[in-house]
Amino acid sequence: MSDSETTPHPPRVMGLADVVLFYVVTGISLRWIATAAAAGPSSLLVWLGAFLLFYIPLALAVLELSSRHPDEGGLYVWARHSFGDLSGFLAGWCYWTSNLPYFPAVFYFAASNAIYIGGRDWLWLNDQPAYFMWFSFIGLALISWLNISGLKHARWLHNAGAYGMWIPVAALVVLGLVMRTRYGSATEVSASTLVPSFELKDMLFWASLAFAFSGCETASFMSGEIKEPRRTIPRALIISGATIAACYMLGTLAVMWVLPAGEINSLSGLLQATSAAATRLGLLWLVPVIAFLITIGNLGAAGGFLAATSRIPFVAGIDRTLPPAFGKLHPRYGTPYVAIIAQTALGALFLFLGQAGTNVKGAYDVLVSMGIITAFVPFLFVFLSLIAVQKEPAGGDVMRVPGGRAAAIAVGIVGLLVTLCAIGLAMLPAADEHNKPLAVIKIVGLTAILIGVGWAVFTSSRRGVAGDPA
């Protein structure tokens, strides 16, 4: 009996439309639009640079590697194939753990926008850490339950979340165009203001914009649950890539048409701009609708990442680099429920760790920085794997980087350099952080602990396998 016959696999339920929407919901993070707009018009060129120098290299790497290895597990499988079990485990571990601070961060953003559903009566919640924490707890529980029940059901939240991402951006672009036509642009957008600043304090958010373009690797973790993955994933990446880039750049521009860059809140700026435009145009009814859509969008994004990343410990459990329990499927739903529950519990723990000793904004910044660093480490393995596989033969069904071996190596090198720069910038605290030493300790210290724990878990699992008489 073959491994494919004995290894448990969830059912294939995701078609092209599902995968496109999955890429959109995991690829678009509306909070980055506000971050970029608050930085001013120069962020438009930074967006373009991030798309050309990070997203395209990452998408090309994912296309080739996923077609070479259409297995459940994505970058975990790719790194293990190229560099061995330890590299595969650390790549998967870092990507998996990066989502532990990601979940609280995305729920903080969702919570800040959900306040606008209630209008002015709910604005007092902005300064209530307890509100943000309880919102996150409930959100984590919801997406955990849906993903345990299976992608057949959870995909509807992912799909709804995708619409909750691009519809608010489309609405804001229309509002922004009307505001610009009637009243002119609130932020000066000219050749001089488009030039990025190279001062360190202005470069800190560059890593965030590169990170914003991650997500095209997510569906590869679930190749075993995608119908015709070799055909579906490339087509979905092309469609979703254009959608994501357009949303980011047009959304950022629209926010600046409505508000001066210096007045934009980096956490809730998108809805802030929508509210300002709707108020001036007599369309206040639109604000709670957009707020609701954004909230659903972020719930869908969190659910999508939980679905994708839970497949890493699932495959690692099968390989016994994590306890075998992680490789179990739910007896009714056929989902990796142990991995889902473990990730949900750890995400809840990070709510407390991120909030300790700081305010809501400070907690958000720390969580974002931790998520960026631990998420970018696996991308180092992705680009190194792309370079490494060029010495291997490729069958006719492999999607090669256009230009062949030399072009693939060049793509890998560009991706590596951008990723290393992003990691370095993410280690620095935000310019407006009140307690910078504590922020640095949290960012670097907690990140190091996460990676160190991963190393210890792998070492322990290897000893266990070596001592197992089976």
375-390 mean pLDDT: 93
Residues 73 and 326: their CA atoms lie apart, in Å, by: 13
**Does residue 353 surpass a pLDDT of 70?**
no
**Does residue 412 surpass a pLDDT of 90?**
yes
Going by pLDDT thresholds of 50, 70 and 90, the confidence category of residue 3 is very low
Residues 359 and 373: their CA atoms lie apart, in Å, by: 22
Find tokens 């609280």 and name the residue. 104
Going by pLDDT thresholds of 50, 70 and 90, the confidence category of residue 233 is confident
Which pLDDT score is estimated for 362? 58
Find tokens 């969190």 and name the residue. 302
Q: Can you give the residue ranges of every domain in the chain?
A: 8-461
Which pLDDT score is estimated for 354? 56
**Does residue 214 surpass a pLDDT of 80?**
yes
**Does residue 93 surpass a pLDDT of 80?**
yes
Strand pairing partners for 226?
14
Residues 394 and 388: their CA atoms lie apart, in Å, by: 13
| Range of weakest confidence among 34-38, 205-209, 252-256, 427-431 | 427-431
User: The whole model's pTM is what?
Assistant: 0.81
185-212 mean pLDDT: 81
Question: What are the tens digits of pLDDT across the range 29-84?
Answer: 887 898 899 888 999 999 999 999 999 999 999 989 988 887 667 888 899 999 99
Which pLDDT score is estimated for 288? 92
Going by pLDDT thresholds of 50, 70 and 90, the confidence category of residue 365 is low
Nearest CA among 18, 192, 104, 54 for reference residue 368: 104
Residues 349 and 354: their CA atoms lie apart, in Å, by: 9
**Cα dihedral sign for 30, 34, 265, 163?**
negative
The rounded mean pLDDT for the chain is 82
Going by pLDDT thresholds of 50, 70 and 90, the confidence category of residue 445 is confident
- The correct CATH number of 8-461 out of 1.20.1070.10, 3.60.15.10, 3.10.129.10, 1.20.1740.10 is 1.20.1740.10
Which pLDDT score is estimated for 2? 37
Which pLDDT score is estimated for 6? 46
Phi, psi of 433 (to 5 degrees): -70, 125
Going by pLDDT thresholds of 50, 70 and 90, the confidence category of residue 266 is confident
- What percent of the chain has a predicted confidence (pLDDT) above 90? 24
Strand pairing partners for 14?
226
For residue 14, the SS3 value is strand
Residues 247 and 165: their CA atoms lie apart, in Å, by: 9
**Does residue 469 surpass a pLDDT of 60?**
no
